[in-house]
């Protein structure tokens, strides 16, 4: 007879940044009988996930599950919408490409097997896959989130949110307080070992001993708890990921854009995230680029410079300590992969939430999947540095995992080999490779080219694009109205 496992009685989350607080909300909601305490403030700016002003569409679903309302993020946390990311200059001067979200194919093709049958093929007709509704809308500056549960001409358009990290964190704190998540400020001055690899308690400067069943390490790159474990090991990605310094720019002028931009420059990559508090620019440079050259390319004054040694922990879950986000993996904040990884790891933890007694095999399974997630991010990032132009800026780097095979299959066959737990869907990877300047090859099944089918598909797309444009309001004006309405006095 199977019995329910004894539930966790107390969980301590170390690190009070946006990752730690959302984690606390999530575990508290999942186990209402369990005391949840957050310890410490927000990690420093080197914790990219904790300061990310944006996420991926996955986060929207996680927010829904955890009761974080999108409308609150928009009206109270400086929120805005991104439909596309434009990659500029990765495939040579003047080259650009767009990555939108989601698989825009017929849902019937979404099973693993159907992916093998069709998947990205419909797009592999030679031209880069620019024909997404998201791009049409972003370029026309028209969008408003489609009403849920109601079919509209833009319901298939997936989007990501941006926000002001401090305001978003304040919003999360409010929710955490409403859920009676505890909070203690202070410095950890002792880690008291328990049985095996477990931690029995931590000592908090001036506040005594805090015991818990499970410790979640959201403390950022220093991984306060995990790194103190005997079994802690770090897998260095320096051989494959060349960025060593990340320059964080002062915010520029506010900008109501539906697109963000990632540009390859002579001094490194530049990421520009639009938003209501201003354009957030960052530059990631290899070791040989001087501070002066980097700042000149950033074009705005830097508010911080972060040194980066990319890599992941070998085992994110050791004993009763689980590292999430930058405590588990650190890498270029090139796109919102840092926060996206943290949120997917959190989702995995919710799925596999243990009881008070942890089975070594569930730890192993969590570590396997969390490891696949981190390796998937590693591979996606490495694609950026594999283009000829990126190699001129960043130098030649070895390609990790299956990256070489993916580029080979893409360029010869327009095919994206499936890998588990990747941050991007097959079609998003296809779009990214094309945006980075690789020319997709043609799948054998499309070689004979059925002009009629292609013309019909184009016509169908054109019609849905026109319907989407007619339906979606001008984005800037819509956003302004939405914000005004939220400030209207009640009654």
Partner 1 sequence: MTAAGIARLLPDLASVQLVESEEIGIVGVGEATLPHIRGFVEKLGIDEAAFMKATHATFKLGIDFRDFGRIGESYIHPFGSFGEEVGGVGFHHYWLELARHGMARDLGDYSLAVAAAKANRFRPPSQDDSLASTYGYAYQFDATLFGPFMREFGLGIGIERHEGRVVTVERDGASGNVTALVLADGRRIEGDLFIDCSGFRSILLGQELDVPWEDWTHWLPCDRAAAMPCTHATDDIRPYTTATAMPAGWRWQIPLQHRMGNGYVFSSAHVSEDEACEAIRAAAEGTPLADPRILKFRPGRRAQSWSHNVIGVGLASGFLEPLESTSIYLAQMAITYLIELFPERGAIDPRDRDEFNRLVDMEYDRVRDFLILHYNATTRDDSEFWNHVRTMRLPDSLEGKLELWRKAGRIEKYSDGLFYDASWIAVYVGQGLLPEAHDPRAAMIAPDALARATERLRLAVTGEVAAMPGHRDFLRAEAARLAEAA
Q: Is 5 in the site for partner 1 (CB under 8 A)?
A: yes
Minimum distance from residue 441 beta carbon to partner 1 (Å): 9
Smallest distance from partner 1 to CB 126, Å: 15
Touching partner 1, residues 172-231 (CB under 8 A)? none
Stretch that binds partner 1, among 275-283, 309-317, 390-398, 442-450 (CB under 8 A): 442-450
Backbone angles phi, psi at 175, to 5 degrees: -65, -40
User: Residue 470, SS3?
Assistant: helix
Q: Is 3 in the site for partner 1 (CB under 8 A)?
A: yes
Taking CB under 8 A as the rule, does residue 61 contact partner 1? no
Least distance in Å: CB of 334 to partner 1?
25
| Residue nearer to partner 1 on the CB measure, 141 or 441 | 441
**Least separation, in Å, of the C-beta of 31 and partner 1?**
7
Task: Specify the residue, 70 or 408, whose C-beta has the smaller distance to partner 1.
Answer: 408
Tokens (6 digits) for 77: 């946390």
Among 413, 429, 432, 465, which residue sits at the site for partner 1 (rule: CB under 8 A)?
A: 413
Q: Applying CB under 8 A, does 52 fall inside the site for partner 1?
A: no
User: CB-wise, 78 or 354, nearer to partner 1?
Assistant: 354
Mark out the alpha helices in 123-193 (DSSP H runs).
Answer: 133-140, 165-178
Site for partner 1, residues 86 to 145, rule: CB under 8 A = 112-114, 116-117
DSSP string, 41-62: ----TT-GGGG-SB--HHHHHH
Rg (CA), the chain: 23
How many chain residues touch partner 1 (CB under 8 A)?
44
Rounded to whole angstroms, the Cα distance separating 112 from 110 reads: 6
C-alpha distances (whole Å) from 140 to each of 45, 87, 99 are 35, 18, 16
Min dist. Cβ of residue 2 to partner 1 (A): 4
Site string for partner 1, 316-355 (x = CB under 8 A): ----------------------------------xxxxxx
Decide: is 412 part of the binding site for partner 1 (CB under 8 A).
yes
Contact between residue 34 and residue 28 where contact means Cβ atoms under 8 Å apart = yes
Shorter beta-carbon distance to partner 1: residue 12 or 348: 348
Q: Give the residue, chosen from 253, 301, 448, 488, that forms a contact with partner 1 under the rule CB under 8 A.
A: 448
Tokens 């070998």 belong to which residue? Answer: 314
Q: Which residue of 185, 189, 388, 420 would you call a contact of partner 1, by CB under 8 A?
A: 420
- Does residue 487 bind partner 1 (CB under 8 A)? no
Q: State the minimum distance, in angstroms, from the CB of residue 4 to partner 1.
A: 4
Helical ranges in 31-152 per DSSP H: 57-66, 70-76, 112-117, 133-140
Q: By C-beta, is 80 or 175 nearer to partner 1? A: 175
Give the rounded distance of the alpha carbon of 56 from its chain centre.
Answer: 5
C-beta of residue 330 within 8 angstroms of C-beta of residue 309 = yes
How far apart are alpha carbons 177 and 170 in whole angstroms? Answer: 10
Q: In this chain, which of 415, 432, 437, 465 binds partner 1, going by CB under 8 A?
A: 415
Q: Which stretch binds partner 1 (CB under 8 A): 170-178, 247-255, 302-310, 401-409?
A: 401-409
Specify whether the backbone of 311 is left (phi greater than 0), alpha (psi in -120 to 50) or beta: left
* Site membership for partner 1, residue 454 (CB under 8 A): no
Structural contact between residues 115 and 107, judged by C-beta atoms closer than 8 angstroms: no
Binding mask 354-393 toward partner 1 (x if CB under 8 A, else -) reads: xx---x-xx-xx---x------------------------
Q: Does 65 bind partner 1 (CB under 8 A)?
A: yes
Of the candidates 47, 163, 434, 293, the residue with the CA atom closest to the CA atom of residue 283: 293
The token pair at 174 is: 């409010």
Residue 284, C-beta contacts closer than 8 angstroms, at least 6 positions apart: 243, 245, 246, 247, 268, 269, 271, 308, 332, 333, 334
**Of the candidates 125, 164, 149, 87, which has an alpha carbon nearest to the alpha carbon of residue 442?**
125
Sign of CA dihedral 331, 336, 337, 338: positive
Site string for partner 1, 16-35 (x = CB under 8 A): --------------xxxx--
Closest CB to partner 1 among residues 225, 425: 425
3-state secondary structure of 455: helix
Contacting residues for 271 by C-beta, under 8 A, at least 6 apart: 260, 261, 262, 281, 282, 283, 284, 333, 334, 335
Residues engaged in binding partner 1 (CB under 8 A): 1-8, 30-33, 65, 112-114, 116-117, 350-355, 359, 361-362, 364-365, 369, 405, 408-409, 412-413, 415, 417-418, 420, 443-445, 447-448
């Amino acid at each position: 007879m199977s019995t329910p496992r004894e539930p966790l009685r107390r969980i301590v989350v170390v690190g009070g940044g946006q990752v730690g607080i959302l984690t606390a909300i999530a575990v508290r909601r999942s186990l209402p009988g369990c005391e949840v305490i957050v310890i410490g403030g927000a990690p420093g700016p080197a914790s990219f996930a904790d300061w990310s002003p944006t996420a991926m569409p996955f986060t929207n679903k996680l927010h829904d599950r955890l009761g974080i309302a999108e409308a609150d993020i928009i009206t109270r946390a400086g929120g805005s919408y991104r439909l596309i990311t434009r990659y500029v200059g990765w495939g040579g001067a003047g080259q650009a490409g767009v990555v939108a979200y989601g698989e825009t194919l017929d849902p019937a093709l979404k099973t693993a097997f159907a992916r093998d049958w069709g998947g990205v093929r419909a797009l592999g007709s030679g031209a880069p896959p620019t024909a997404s509704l998201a791009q049409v809308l972003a370029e026309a500056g028209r969008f408003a989130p489609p009403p849920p549960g109601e079919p509209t001409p833009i319901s298939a358009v997936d989007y990501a949110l941006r926000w002001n990290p401090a305001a978003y964190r304040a919003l999360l704190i409010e929710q955490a307080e409403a859920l009676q998540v505890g909070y203690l400020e202070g410095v950890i001055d002792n880690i008291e070992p328990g049985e095996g690899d477990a931690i029995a308690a931590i000592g908090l400067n001036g506040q005594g001993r805090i015991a818990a069943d499970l410790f979640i390490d959201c403390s950022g790159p220093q991984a306060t708890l995990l790194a103190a474990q005997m079994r802690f090991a770090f897998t260095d990605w320096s051989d494959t990921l060349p960025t060593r310094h990340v320059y964080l720019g002062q915010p520029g002028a506010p900008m109501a854009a539906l697109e963000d931009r990632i540009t390859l420059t002579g001094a490194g990559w530049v990421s520009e995230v639009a938003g209501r508090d201003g354009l957030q620019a960052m530059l990631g440079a290899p070791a040989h680029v001087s501070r002066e050259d980097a700042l000149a390319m950033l074009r705005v004054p830097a508010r911080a410079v972060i040194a980066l040694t990319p890599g992941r922990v070998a085992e994110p879950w050791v004993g009763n300590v689980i590292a999430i986000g930058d405590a588990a993996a650190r890498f270029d904040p090139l796109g919102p992969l840092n926060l996206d990884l943290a949120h997917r790891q959190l989702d995995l933890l919710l799925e596999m939430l243990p009881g008070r007694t942890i089975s070594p095999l569930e730890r192993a399974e969590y570590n396997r999947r969390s490891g696949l997630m981190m390796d998937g991010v590693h591979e996606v990032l490495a694609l950026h540095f594999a283009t000829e132009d990126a190699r001129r800026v960043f130098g030649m780097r070895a390609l990790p995992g299956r990256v070489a095979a993916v580029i080979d299959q893409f360029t010869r066959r327009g095919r994206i080999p499936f890998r588990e737990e990747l941050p991007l869907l097959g079609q998003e990877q296809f779009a990214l490779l094309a945006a980075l300047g690789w020319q997709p090859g043609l799948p054998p099944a499309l070689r004979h080219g059925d002009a009629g089918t292609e013309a019909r598909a184009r016509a169908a797309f054109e019609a849905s694009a026109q319907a989407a444009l007619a339906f979606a309001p001008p984005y800037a004006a819509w956003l302004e109205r939405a914000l005004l309405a939220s400030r209207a006095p009640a009654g």
